[in-house]
Amino acid sequence: MATQRVKFTFPQELITLPVIYQLGKEFNVVTNIRRADVTADRGWVVLELEGDAEEIERGLAWVAAKGVRVDPVQGDIVEG
């Protein structure tokens, strides 16, 4: 089982869509939201993803194809 931390940055038109839910459902990836900031015109979410490494990669490619920016995150995201 692999674990990967990523940051999704959503364009305004995708903020209201259930992209994270669909990622978990379609690709059998456990999503754990570690930090987020969402407003009416922008949004970002830091996630910890757990699952088969190939499924995580396929899922991230799918998210990026939807128009979400995907960036890797290093280290622990929640302090204290």
Taking the CA of residue 19 as centre, how many other CA atoms within 13 Å lie in the half-sphere pointing to its CB? 26
Question: Residue 23 CB: number of other CB atoms within 10 A?
Answer: 24
pLDDT of residue 60: 98
pLDDT of residue 13: 93
pLDDT of residue 76: 58
The answer to whether the CB of 36 falls within 8 A of the CB of 43 is yes
- With a pLDDT cut of 70, the percent of the chain lying above it is 92
Q: Which residues of the chain are modeled with pLDDT < 70?
A: 75-80
- The domain spans of the chain are 16-51+60-75
- Per 3-state DSSP, the chain is made up of helix, strand and coil in percentages (nearest 5) of 30, 40, 30
